Amino acid sequence: MLELRNISCSLPGFNLSEISFSVAKGEYFILLGESGAGKSLLLEAIAGLGQVKSGSLILDGKDITHEKIQKRMIGLVFQDHAVFPHLSVKENIAYPLKGKKLSNSQKESIITETAFLLQISGLLNRKPSTLSGGELQRVALARALVQKPKILLLDEPLSATDSKLRSELRALLRQINRSGQTIIHVTHDFDEAVSLADHIAIMNQGRIVQAGTPLDVFGNPVNAFVAHLAGIRNFFKASIAQHNGTNIAIAGNDVSIVIGDYTKNSSGFILVRNEDILVSLEPLESSALNNFQGTVLDIFPARSGMEVLIDIGIILHAQISSESAAKFKLIAGKKVWVTFKASSVKLITSE
Amino acid sequence: MKHFSPFQIAISLAGALILLFIVAPLVGMFIATSPSDLFATAKDVEVQESIKLTIWVSLAATVIFALAAIPLAYLLARKEFPLKSIVSGVIDLPVVIPHSAAGIAILGFVSRDSVVGKMGSAVGLNFVGHPSGIAIAMAFVSLPFLINAARDGFIGVPVRLEKAALTLGASPTRVFFTISLPLAWRSIVSGLILMFARGMSEFGAVIMVAYHPMITPVLIYERFGSFGLTYARPVSVLFILISLTVFIALRLLSRNKSQNPSTHA
């Protein structure tokens, strides 16, 4: 098991502050954050390539904070693969085995097995300059795996791949993890995080802002940043009040939204998922308590259907089908009604 | 028909003049030297000995000094340390100072009265008038070419490859010999050839330290001083032909450098 205790690192103009989390044996752990959040720096610190200013790194009960890189038994696959260009694929994979107390036949069989697992058996005699990005990624993974690392660190492993290759590589990473390999994987991609992670930690500006299972983290985002990463665009600061027995959140410039939850805190955040907002041309007769008239600001294609930005005093993002957008002839400037239930508004009070 | 602008014609003319300026004296010298003179000079034992001496002393100086110069180049490429820019400036110093002045400095450094000279005398070695002194003078003026080329070669090796090798269990020494050195090798070889060629052609610094034994540039000077242009010319032509061979080898290597594998990483 790997444990990070209050790890701080500093580079000119950037700091990693008080990073703490633990990764259990066999776990798939994802560090999610935007570019510049400090994710790669943290990976390098774990691998021993970056200087740790304070805090400690404990691997299987042993303090490795100041252990030599080559003695840590931590594998790192770089974003740009870092496959040695002057060595063949086989020589690359064999690189970590040199100096190990293994016979030549044992080394051969490790290389053959690993190449088979990563489906690169046919590439062993090729030079890296003749390989595609996906093939280089597999070679880099094979090379890191032959040394049987206690932890495998992956820096944005799927960022430079097309969607077909990405799903193949995801399946491969799951397979490697299922064979018992502990993995810490850095990414900025929400879908990638959700599809692979047992546990997830969100990084922003050199800090961990939230950690837990994907369900915990994205079901209960602690702040606007995490909500934004999870694709939730309707996230507003609000003051909370009770009015005639109804719980009200006042967001933006005096927009009163009925909410289901209540807290004694006088302020917090509210979030509404895009897909929970209904758009209509006339006010709807329904049980929903939140009905507002607003103006369409923009409409554009989203991953599924269309995303509509509607100004009701605050700017709401709604998700509608392309058919509905065509039927309502939605364009910027058009007046529409938005409807959502009080129970679809989530209240978050811990920023 | 393709039209050329006045500007293109002007720069082409300027370029042609410069080329002519470089080529004309050399061609003139080659034309003025008859094949029979050249053949007789090639058979002259004194010339043969001097060319052999020039080549092997320059080669020895290059190889011996490279053992320390290449690690220094790696240090300059990879490490930050106080006064690094001053160190880089010091390395370029031999290029900018007059070589006769450099020769005087080296003479003071290796003469029998100096610490180095006394250490040499203790083991029966007198640098002045000895191939070892010539090697020191050649190395002094030609080292910057090797150090700068090797440093640029190491800078061209992505640091990530070295980091990757460390995470794969390699020691820093193994990383240097298996990753950094092979990937910077073409630049280093270019630097070695440049240093070797520059050492071979050195005159000013060498003559201060050792008039005898005579390296070829000193022999050319001596033949010119004693017998005149006609006698100095065939030796010059022969030596230029040998230097050109080295130069062409260098050009071929630097052309291959564009296929340096480190650029793919």
Q: How confident is the model at residue B251 (pLDDT cuts 50, 70, 90)?
A: low
- Tell me: do A244 and A261 sit in the same domain: yes
| Percent of chain A's residues with pLDDT above 90 | 60
Q: What is the pLDDT of residues B154-209, one digit of tens each?
A: 999 999 999 999 999 999 999 999 999 999 998 998 899 889 999 999 999 999 99
Q: Which range (A104-108, A166-170, B158-162) has the least confidence?
A: A166-170
Span A237-257, average pLDDT: 86
| SS3 state of residue A81 | coil
- Tell me the helices (H) and strands (E) count for chain B, helix number first: 13, 0
Mean pLDDT (whole number) for A87-112: 94
Domain encompassing residue B188: 57-78+95-264
The whole-chain average pLDDT of chain A stands at: 90
How many angstroms away from the CA of A321 is the closest CA of chain B? 45
Which residue, A229, A255, A271, sits at the end of a domain? A229
Residue B162 lies in a domain: yes
Within 81-120 of B, beta carbons closer than 8 Å to A belong to: none
Region A120-146: mean pLDDT is 94
Is residue B186 in some structural domain? Answer: yes
Tell me whether residues B164 and A84 touch, CB distance under 8 A: yes
Examine the fold and report which residue of A177, A206, A229 is the final residue of a domain before the chain moves on.
Answer: A229
Secondary structure letter of residue B178 according to DSSP: I
* Confidence at residue A220, expressed as pLDDT on a 0 to 100 scale: 80
Same domain for A142 and A284, yes or no, is: no
Please tell me whether residues A251 and A223 are part of one structural domain.
Answer: no
CATH assignment of the domain containing A267:
2.40.50.100
**A138 and A266 belong to one structural domain:** no
Q: Which of residues 4-43 of A touch B (CB under 8 A)?
A: none
Model pLDDT, residue B261: 46
In chain A, residues with a C-beta closer than 8 Å to the C-beta of B160 are 78, 80, 82
Q: Which of A86, A91, A145 would best serve as a mutation to test chain B binding (most B beta carbons within 10 A)?
A: A86
User: What CATH number did the domain enclosing A183 receive?
Assistant: 3.40.50.300
CA distance A175 to chain B (A): 22
Which of A76, A129, A143 is nearest residue B261 as measured by Cβ atoms? A129
Which whole number is the average pLDDT over B115-139? 90
Query: Is residue B170 a part of any domain in this protein?
Result: yes
Q: Is residue B20 in a domain?
A: no
Region A90-102 average pLDDT: 93
Q: Does residue B1 sit within a domain? A: no
Q: Which of A73, A95, A110 is the best residue to mutate to test the B interface, defined by the most B CB atoms within 10 Å of its own CB?
A: A95
Cα–Cα distance measured from residue B214 to residue A63, given in angstroms and rounded to the nearest whole number: 65
Q: Mean per-residue pLDDT for A261-265? A: 70
How many structural domains comprise chain B? 1
- Judge whether B30 lies within some domain: no
C-beta neighbour count of B130 within 10 angstroms? 18
Distance of alpha carbon A149 from alpha carbon B44, whole angstroms: 68
Whether residues A219 and A247 share a domain: the answer is no
User: Domain tally for chain A?
Assistant: 2
Determine the pLDDT at residue B16: 97
Residues of A in contact with B264 (CB under 8 A): 85, 128-129
Distance CA A344, CA A346 (A): 6
**Between A47, A86, A100, which is nearest B167 by CB?**
A47
Per-residue pLDDT for B6 more than 80? yes
Q: How many angstroms separate the CA of residue B182 from the nearest CA in chain A?
A: 8
Euclidean distance between the first and the last CA atom of chain A, given in angstroms as a whole number: 30
Residues A166 and A271 in one domain: no
CA distance A246 to A202: 34
A201 CB burial (10 A radius; 0-12, 13-18, 19+)? buried
Q: What is the pLDDT of residue A64?
A: 94
Is the preceding omega at residue B234 within 30 degrees of 0, hence cis? no
| A62 and chain B in contact, CB less than 8 A | no
Contact B169 A147 (CB under 8 A): yes
Radius of gyration of chain B (CA): 22
Question: What CA–CA distance (Å, rounded) separates A84 from A65?
Answer: 28
Identify the pLDDT of residue B256: 62
Cross-chain residue pair B163–A144, CB shorter than 8 Å: no
Same structural domain, A49 and A146: yes
Indicate whether A158 pLDDT > 50.
yes
Yes or no, beta carbons of A85 and B264 under 8 Å apart: yes
Residue B147: its pLDDT value, please?
97
**CB of B256 within 8 Å of any CB in chain A?**
no
**Is residue A28 domain-shared with residue A174, that is, in the same domain?**
yes
Q: Which residues of A touch B161 (CB under 8 A)?
A: 82, 84-85
Q: Is this complex's ipTM strictly greater than 0.95?
A: no
User: Could you read off the pLDDT of A205-222 as tens digits, one per residue?
Assistant: 999 999 999 888 887 888
What is the extent of the structural domain holding A279?
234-348
Q: Which residues contact A122 (CB under 8 A, 6 or more apart)?
A: none
Shared domain for A320 and A215, answered yes or no, is no
Q: Answer yes or no: is pLDDT of A341 > 90.
A: yes
Cβ atoms within 10 Å of B72's Cβ, excluding its own: 17
Q: What is the CATH number of the domain that holds B132?
A: 1.10.3720.10
Q: Which secondary structure element, helix H or strand E, spans residue B140, and what is its range?
A: helix B131-155
Q: Which residue of B has its CA nearest to A129?
A: B264
Q: Among residues A180, A209, A229, which one ends one of the domains?
A: A229
Residues A219 and A238 in one domain: no
State whether A167 and A270 are in the same domain: no
Q: Report pLDDT digits (tens) over A2-12.
A: 999 999 998 88
Indicate if A180 and A252 belong to the same structural domain.
no
- For residue range B202-219, list pLDDT tens digits in order: 999 999 999 989 999 999
Interface membership of A78 toward B (CB under 8 Å) = yes
pLDDT of B258 > 60? The answer is no
**Is B167 close to A49, i.e. CB distance below 8 A?**
yes
Render pLDDT for A53-89 as a digit per residue (tens, 0 to 9).
999 999 999 999 999 998 899 999 999 999 999 999 9
pLDDT at B255: 67
DSSP state of B176: I
Residue A214 C-alpha, separation from nearest chain B C-alpha, in angstroms = 29
